[in-house]
Amino acid sequence: MIAHTGLDHLKEDPPGSRARSPGPPPPEARDPQTPSGRGRAPPLPRHAAARVMTSGELMQSGPLLADPSRRSLLYKALCFLLLVFQGGVLDFYLIVFTDLYWCSWIATDLVVVSGWGIFFMKNARSKRERACGFHQKSSGSGCSLGEFTYAYLAWLIYVIACTPKLVLVLETSILDLIELKVPCGVTGFKVVMLLSAPLLFCLSNAIIEDLNGATRHRAQTCFLGSCVDLLDSFALVEMLLRGEVPSASLKYTVVCVYFLVLAAPVVWLYELTASEPRRRWLWARFCAGLLVNAPLLLVRCFQVYVYRMPVSVFMFKNVFFLACRVLELLDQCGARRGGRDPAEFSHCVSENDMCPHGYVNTLAVTQS
């Protein structure tokens, strides 16, 4: 018989036997689909977890216009660039071809640029207060300020500063000297005048918060209407520059109508400044459309029926826009007379009737 000693357990295992020894696998090696490891996902390494990006970081790493802050800075820079370029070219015309003192024109441009800078700072402060939930200051009409705060003042400052320069060029002999001595001549002057449309576009886009919000779509609609009106009035100014306006009184009327159209965006910028709708803005919109399209239609009727000039396609545009304004006023007045005012509905909804995502709990509102 072979005697078994107590040292048998000290014998070396054959190679590979330790790896085949049964035993529970470590927690990291368990399959997440097995019963013992169900619901457990293998933990990510620390360097891999650091590479996980949020949706905001993905937007920032995307195109330039995808980030709201970068988009706003881009349009603000374009605003200042257009202001300086247009004002500088007009100052060059007035300084070179007149004996007017040059400091006054440069000081005017500095006032406009400073006013727009103050407007952007005030607007950014209003946005920060609204984001932090602070109580908003009220405007003179008693309405809480929205994202277009003070935008109408910025455009009004621009119109007041730009109007006398353009009037001096249009109503004096400077235009003939520009045609003779300046590169691009009258064509360059026309391009400088048309810079008002892209400036208005940059202004409205520089202060938009929500790219998919109702305010942005409303601002785009108003801008397109103002842009078409500017093109309409500029067509008359172009006829004036070519000497095709036969009467002096009609010439002054064309100049006045152009600057009236240039100042018209103040109305809808003021409307977008307030975050609460009001009934009187329906009438303000209607009166603004009437003051813009009615004089343009009147001038074109004089051209066609008195001076026997060809009919312009903008004449049909004036009739169509006036009809649209009348139908919009009737539609909105009928809707407000038959139902509840949206502003009154917003005041009836309390904070307790709001869902976590900002939607209105209609069941709670109807029960109340």
Domain definitions of the chain by residue range: 66-336
* Long-range contacts formed by 22-25: CB under 8 A, 24+ apart: none
Q: Write down the H helix ranges in the chain.
A: 46-49, 55-60, 68-97, 102-132, 151-171, 174-181, 185-194, 196-206, 214-241, 248-263, 265-273, 280-305, 313-338, 342-348, 362-367
- CA dihedral (166, 167, 173, 179) in degrees, to 10, reads 20
Confidence at residue 60, expressed as pLDDT on a 0 to 100 scale: 45
Confidence at residue 26, expressed as pLDDT on a 0 to 100 scale: 53
Q: Are 321 and 221 in contact (CB under 8 A)?
A: no
Confidence at residue 102, expressed as pLDDT on a 0 to 100 scale: 74
Confidence at residue 145, expressed as pLDDT on a 0 to 100 scale: 62
Q: Give the span between the Cα atoms of 149 and 274, in whole angstroms.
A: 7
Q: Give the span between the Cα atoms of 253 and 94, in whole angstroms.
A: 23
- Return the structure tokens found at 162: 């730009």
The string of DSSP letters for 66-125 reads GSHHHHHHHHHHHHHHHHHHHHHHHHHHHHHHS-S-HHHHHHHHHHHHHHHHHHHHHHHH
Burial (CB count <10 Å: 0-12, 13-18, 19+), residue 315: middle
* Long-range contacts formed by 113-120: CB under 8 A, 24+ apart: 113/80, 113/83, 113/84, 113/87, 115/153, 115/154, 115/157, 116/79, 116/80, 116/83, 116/154, 116/157, 116/158, 117/80, 119/150, 119/151, 119/153, 119/154, 120/76, 120/206, 120/207
Q: Give the span between the Cα atoms of 224 and 231, in whole angstroms.
A: 11
Q: Give the span between the Cα atoms of 112 and 164, in whole angstroms.
A: 14
Total Cβ atoms within 10 A of residue 283: 13
Q: What is the mean pLDDT of each run of 10 residues along the chain (368 residues)?
A: 46 48 50 48 48 46 64 94 95 84 86 94 81 54 64 94 92 87 90 95 89 84 93 92 86 92 92 69 83 92 89 92 90 70 42 44 43
Distance of CA 247 to the CA centre of its chain: 40
Q: Give the span between the Cα atoms of 257 and 250, in whole angstroms.
A: 10
Q: How many CA atoms lie within 13 A of 69 on its CB side?
A: 7
Q: Are 83 and 159 in contact (CB under 8 A)?
A: no
